[in-house]
Chain A
Amino acid sequence: MSITFHRIPPSGPDHLGMSRRMFLLTTTMAGITTSMMLGSAGAAFASPLDAGQSAMLLRMVQDIYPHPGLLQISHYESISGTVIKGAQDNAETATALIDGLGRVNALAQELFAVDYVDVADADAREGILRKFQNEGFFQGVRWTAYFGIYNNKEVWPLFGYQGSSVEQGGYLDRGFSDITFVPQGPTLEQRLAEVQQ
């Protein structure tokens, strides 16, 4: 099952995955920031991933839900950090993740003769990941990314979502009917008139 784009063509191209600037940031900073974060998360735990694997994981979470103009690299680092924490807490998860990352990278090497993180074409990277999308390790990373972005109250404003409203009296006085590019709905008088017996 896939999204069907209706006969009108898409209004613009899909994202390239990230801007050039962001790409440079991730490749140069991934190892540093991830290890710093892990250092602060708990020095007693050693990351089950080495620096290269951590950088690859960070690349992967960005390729799973790319929002280059919207999210910061720190959002994705937080997600890869959650994945790594999960791997620290569960040896089975760690083994599957490391094995999965290895196979993703092996496919990148086989197809493009470079590491996954060095495949420049975002479509090609997504294509590589599609091969692994029915595997547990991939879906584990994917759903961590899903919850870290779309179920994250701090991220919601970036998508224009305002969330819970009951504590503010709902949206009745906060723009539930404020758009101007289509006509107004019927007035209270009109709505009352139409239900008169």
Chain B
Amino acid sequence: MAQFDLGDDGVVVIIGSGAGGGTVANELAQKGIKSVVLEAGKRFGLEDIENDEWAMFNKISWLDKRHSAGGWHGAVNHPTLPTWIVKGFGGSTVHWAGVALRFKEYEFKTRTTYGAIDGANVEDWPVDLAEMTPWYEKAELKMGVTGKTTGMPHLPWNNGFRVLAEGCRRTGRSDYNSGPMAINSVERDGRPACQQIGFCMQGCAIGAKWSTMTTELPRAEATGNCEIRTDCMALRIEHDAAGKVTGVVYADKDGNQQLQKARVVCVAGNTIESPRLLLNSASPMYPDGLANSSGQVGKNYMTHTTGGVYAAMPEKVHMFRGTSVAGIVGDEVHHDASRGFSGGYYLEFLSLGLPFMAAFLEPGNTGWGRSVSRALESYDRMSGVWVLGEDLAQERNAITLHDSETDQYGLPVPIVSKTPHNNDYAMTAHMYETSAQIYEAVGATDVYELPSYPASHNMGTNRMHADRAKGVVNGHGQSHDIANLFVSDGSQFTSSAACNPTLTIVALAIRQAEYIAKEMNAHSI
């Protein structure tokens, strides 16, 4: 692996090694551009992956101090765990389930499609589906997404999804399938085919699922153009008198502060840490934080509008056998104002192991007693879905900094505030009803509705906008204020869409790397 000098001001410094940062790093490395990746967590490899829900939760989760706030149930039930993401080599691509859906055309144009919505801050993206389609294709080829782009068949259907699919058929639905998934259904790109292990979200132990841990990061290192420093937490981005960023101050594994000089900085620390870093980098020249002339850094925090539905069937299902997210129902992904809400939603079959089912069936202090116990005895007869729909941007949903409490690095603790919009309540009711109808059609005896989990899909806090007064970055994720500062993760999303964000993060990262290379070659940055 390459080693770059702290004083080398020719490198791109990338903060974070997940879907955004890991992809940008490898794309730049393949083009011969040198980079240093600062990863806050430890180095992980396949040997660290266990089929054990709590063991992996404790091993890989981002558990640094955070406060959960706002009107969502998690402010009470998950007060220190607003999100469920990874701190480590590969970032949240270790944890993700592999669902690789593209945005729909209207989901890039939410302001145009929905109009202004009271209490929300809905805007159009500066890019659209036509612009993004070739980048989606590159992302699908890179990640190995089942479907037409790669020609890889979708995965075989497991028990749990077959129950859901039959319910869909009986209720007249047509858009349900076991893909697209970034999980190999055949051996491809040096990675094996899925063995239906389950535990996808604890990390794929054989590397059948795409993760930057097993693909982008080792490949970037192998070029000799990329140095990945783990256990290195970015603390602050520095800039010069002209306002250009010049380097990143970070705490190394021994807790010592280092300054890595940089020609370009890409921020990809996920939707809490990325705006937090920009806010913590405030200076006399940028008193409200870097890249924040719009005032939108940290605002418009979106997760997805989510919940869970688990149905007890008359016979055994053993849903835990096989791919965790084994199938996707897309019939409800369209905008139809007559439904009483804007945007659409997916139903994604999702298995939980018994430990997580018992913890999340009814989260918080009330999740015990006869009803819970009785429900859990039907565990081996359950099939269920995670429902996820578009979450509207709202300014009040935001990442802010605690005014006195600090973390182990001495940085103000982030407060993650999330209050559902009325749109979310209307959509959630529709999601639960649809899911129950599907499962009742196939003979469910009981249907359990679960509230949202701590969010794994986190977006919007450094959003893209063509108008520099309304967004933090432009259509390439480049700061409107500082030309050599980029945002490379899901925080650049203008809207959340209904789908899982990873494919779009990767597509944007490939496109951004191309742009950075072009601008560097032109000496514009």
Contacts and interface: CB of A to CB of B under 8 A. Distances in A.
A and B: interacting chains = yes
B448 A150 contact: no
B379 interface: yes
A32 to B, nearest CB: 26
Given A8-B440, A195-B146, A195-B152, A183 B448 contact: no
A3 B370 CA distance: 12
Contact of B198 (A130, A156, A170, A185): A170
A10 B446 contact: yes
Interface in A113-127: 122-123, 126
Interface string A176-197: 1111011111101001101111
Interface stretch (A41-49, A65-73, A77-85, A91-99): A65-73
Given A6-B447, A159-B377, A179-B315, A171 B372 contact: no
Given A14-B370, A15-B370, A182 B162 contact: yes
Interface stretch (B50-58, B254-262, B408-416): B50-58
Contacts of A66: 369-370, 373
A165 to B, nearest CB: 5
Contacts of A174: 321
B157 A171 contact: no
Interface string A1-45: 111111110111011010000000000000000000000000000
A24 to B, nearest CB: 20
Given A3-B362, A182-B163, A166 B51 contact: yes
Contacts of B152: 195
A90 interface: no
B380 interface: yes
Main secondary structure of the interface of B (DSSP, over half): loop
B449 A6 contact: yes
A170 B196 contact: yes
Contacts of B322: 170-172, 176-177
Given A1-B73, A122-B370, A178-B159, A11 B312 contact: yes
B354 A176 contact: no
A23 B177 CA distance: 49
Interface string B432-467: 100010001011111111110000000000000000
B199 A64 contact: no
B380 A161 contact: yes
Interface residues of B, number: 83
Contacts of A194: 153-154, 177
Contact of A3 (B318, B372, B436): B372
A15 B148 CA distance: 50
Contacts of A126: 369-370
Nearest to A133: B365
B271 to A, nearest CB: 24
B376 A150 contact: yes
Given A1-B73, A126-B370, A163-B353, A175 B156 contact: no
Given A3-B361, A166-B51, A64 B154 contact: no
Contacts of B379: 159-161
Contacts of A169: 195
B47 to A, nearest CB: 12
A137 interface: no
19 contacts: A1-B362, A1-B451, A3-B375, A5-B447, A6-B440, A14-B370, A65-B368, A122-B370, A145-B368, A150-B358, A150-B359, A163-B51, A164-B199, A165-B199, A166-B51, A171-B197, A177-B156, A177-B159, A185-B178
